[in-house]
Structure 1
Amino acid sequence: MLNNQLIGTWRLVSCEYRDTDEQVSYPYGKDAIGYLIYTSDGYMSATLMRANRFKFTSQDIAAVSIEEQATAVQTYLAYCGKYEIQANKVIHHIEASLYPNLVGVDQERFFKFKGNRLLFSTPSFPMNGKQQVAHIVWERLSNGQC
């Protein structure tokens, strides 16, 4: 039953990190853009990015500066793979990712539904010298049915 509730396309509403002091940060900005897709055959894909990202100075990707490439990576997250549900959490088994260190890693998301929204929280993780917990809200766009 829970699997059926996840299936479909979700649009990002908000993504915030809270540290151990309850300080809130927005890694992709307060107006971040993103989509999350769960398929009925057990695959998922997630993308999140900062709105209004700077465009590269060249159409030739090989000619783009290292600084521009670094900024692009720091303002975008994408990964995909299989998923499974265990009680109140979904586990993303990452097979491809913008960040190479995520490939082969399982990402856990604790979830609950509130109306047409999917609320995620993560186990704590280190960032900028403090433990953080991500709180991500998604809004349903479709239920995966044609």
Structure 2
Amino acid sequence: MSEKLRDQLVGAWKLHSYVEIPVDGSEPFYPMGEKPMGIIMYTPDGYMSAQLMKPGRAPFAVNDFYEGTLEEYKAAGSTYIAYTGPFKVNEQNRTLTHSMFISLFPNWMGQTQPRVVSIEGDVLTLGTASPISSKGKTVNSKLVWHRAQPE
């Protein structure tokens, strides 16, 4: 019998790629650039946390998080994704859901989102289970993560 999906997920994963694939057949795009940065973690007690960002983000002019300009907040917020909450696995169907207890994007608060999931060795691939809106297009997201190794 193969290892349980839940057990395979537990740990930290570094983002390798993140692409949005439009359902209309137009060109895929990379909302966080072609070399995005990110970590997703799954804990043994059933919580997950995801943080993704575009590299090369500009620092605020003032070294105070609460004193940024509207332009600085817009640039920072539009190049970062963060959410955390419980996750659930259906072992029989090998499906995964993320529930958003906290989210940078307020519209996701309280949502439970299904993910298409596959794990091959130390590579985790996650995708949206149904199309979403991104940059004005209807897309399917595909994120590839590699198991994080201690440094």
TM-score, scaled to structure 2: 0.89
3-state DSSP of counterpart to 1:67:
helix
Which residue is equivalent to 1:15? Answer: 18
Letter of the 2:34 counterpart: K
Matched positions, count:
143
The CA distance in 1 between the partners of 2:145 and 2:135, in whole Å, is 25
Which residue is equivalent to 1:139? Answer: 146
Moved more, 17-26 or 45-54: 17-26
The CA distance in 1 between the partners of 2:136 and 2:38, in whole Å, is 26
Per-residue CA deviations over 1:46-82 (Å, capped at 9, x if unaligned) read 0000011110111123331101101100000000000
The CA distance in 2 between the partners of 1:97 and 1:110, in whole Å, is 20
Letter of the 1:137 counterpart: V
Structure 1 residue 3 and structure 2 residue 6: aligned?
yes
The CA distance in 2 between the partners of 1:42 and 1:6, in whole Å, is 10
Which residue is equivalent to 1:61? Answer: 65
Of the three residues 64, 71, 86, the one matched with 1:82 is 86
Letter of the 1:24 counterpart: P
* Structure 2 unaligned spans of 5+: none
Letter of the 1:82 counterpart: P
Which residue is equivalent to 1:103? Answer: 109
* Structure 1 unaligned spans of 5+: none
TM-score, scaled to structure 1: 0.92
The CA distance in 1 between the partners of 2:134 and 2:109, in whole Å, is 19
Q: Which runs of 4+ in 1 moved over 6 A?
A: none
Which residue is equivalent to 1:93? Answer: 99
Query: What's the RMSD between the two structures over aligned residues?
Result: 1.5
User: Which one has a larger percent strand, Structure 1 or Structure 2?
Assistant: 1
